[in-house]
Amino acid sequence: MTTEQKQLQLEGWSRRIADTIMGQCREDGFHDYPLERWAYVPGMLLMAMARAGKQLNEERYYSFMHRHMNHFVAEDGAIGTYTLEEYNLDQINQGKNLFMQYARTGDKRYAKAAHTLAAQLMSQPRTSEGGFWHKKVYPFQMWLDGLYMASPFLAEYGKVFERPELLDETAHQLLLIERRTRDKRTGLLYHGWDESGEQDWADSLTGLSPNFWSRAMGWYAMALVDCLEHFPVTHRQRGTIIGIFERMCHALVRVQEPSSGLWYQVLDQGERKGNYLEATGSIMFVYAMAKGLRLGYLSSGFRSAMLKGYEGIIGRLVTEDEQGVHLHGICNGAGLSKDRNGSFDYYISEAVVSDHYMGIGPLLLASLEVEHLLNA
């Protein structure tokens, strides 16, 4: 197959995925899943649809995000089902959609809702070095997941509302967790860090969880590229963030499965019994690399690894039928707590499912980035 034929096979998936999501709407135009509650996965799905609307020039995709967000954001800017005092970084993620709504409409209720979420971050509980706790109920814990949930929001908020000190704060969060969780031997990042050392899953000396979970690093990879988009070129830590992003991508390429181009659920354990090639981590790495290549954060040598990853996703994990596009090999969920100890056996024990929006949302985001890069 020629390079041109391969490229043609990789194009057009974003529209097919977006149309699949639209096809799952009720007769009134609403989709039940984003209406369930204000939460990070529905928020990511809505953001992916809005970006599809902009890139593919399809107003109906943007309108999908807009009407579902309006289900939660009241005329006075109050956010339905959201409670600031939970101090849960996951609850910030859906707020990323507010900036596009505010820019397009000028309606101050979206600004007010953004101010509320920013207020949470200003008073978020912190580690002794100023790192945001992942949640109030997870004291002194930083998880890679949380960097995606909150940091791009904080960076864009700082840019939109001319608060440059919040870009400094964003940089501090990104660099702190990388320094605390990076394994010097492999360059991979552990899922979580407990400063207090109180958690059963935390190493007694380092406070680190014991394994490298694919999706956790995927969240962090996406956080880096999405934050960098809002940093001015003169910011004193922009180059450092770009540097750790490239260093991390080298580590990811070293554990990329060579025949499929995908990544394992537990990144460094290869073909250990029970391990498997997981969809969401693989998709998130492709998204981050494609966007990093497009915006010049990564050297061109990563293009082949990124494309091989995307080819593996489409060729091995995606199917299509009369109902639309389907995604398989999705880890249903994983975390760190008393009954989720971060062991290898724990990560491979979580359910593997198809068509969860935890995977469909990132797949749409990654497809948009790959297509943008290929058509640049």
pLDDT in tens, 119-131: 999 999 999 999 9
Phi–psi pair at 131, nearest 5 degrees: -80, 135
Cα 42 from Cα 62, distance rounded (Å): 14
**Known active-site residue 168:** no
Q: What is the pLDDT of residues 5-36, one digit of tens each?
A: 566 678 899 999 999 999 999 999 999 999 99
Q: What single DSSP character describes residue 307? A: H
Q: Which amino acid is at 127?
A: T
* Residue 276 predicted with pLDDT over 80: yes
* Residue 207 predicted with pLDDT over 60: yes
pLDDT at 350: 98
Domains of the chain: 3-374 (1.50.10.10)
Average pLDDT (211-222) is 98
Phi–psi pair at 142, nearest 5 degrees: -115, 130
Average pLDDT (295-323) is 98
Q: What is the pLDDT of residues 337-361, one digit of tens each?
A: 999 999 999 999 999 999 999 999 9
* Residue 4 predicted with pLDDT over 70: no
14: left (phi over 0), alpha (psi -120 to 50) or beta: alpha
Exactly one of 90, 145, 194, 226 is catalytic; which is it? 145
E strands within the chain? 141-143, 192-194, 318-321, 324-327, 330-331, 352-353
Instruction: Tell me the DSSP string of 128-178.
Output: TTSPBPSBTTSTTEEEHHHHHHHHHHHHHHHHHTT-THHHHHHHHHHHHHH
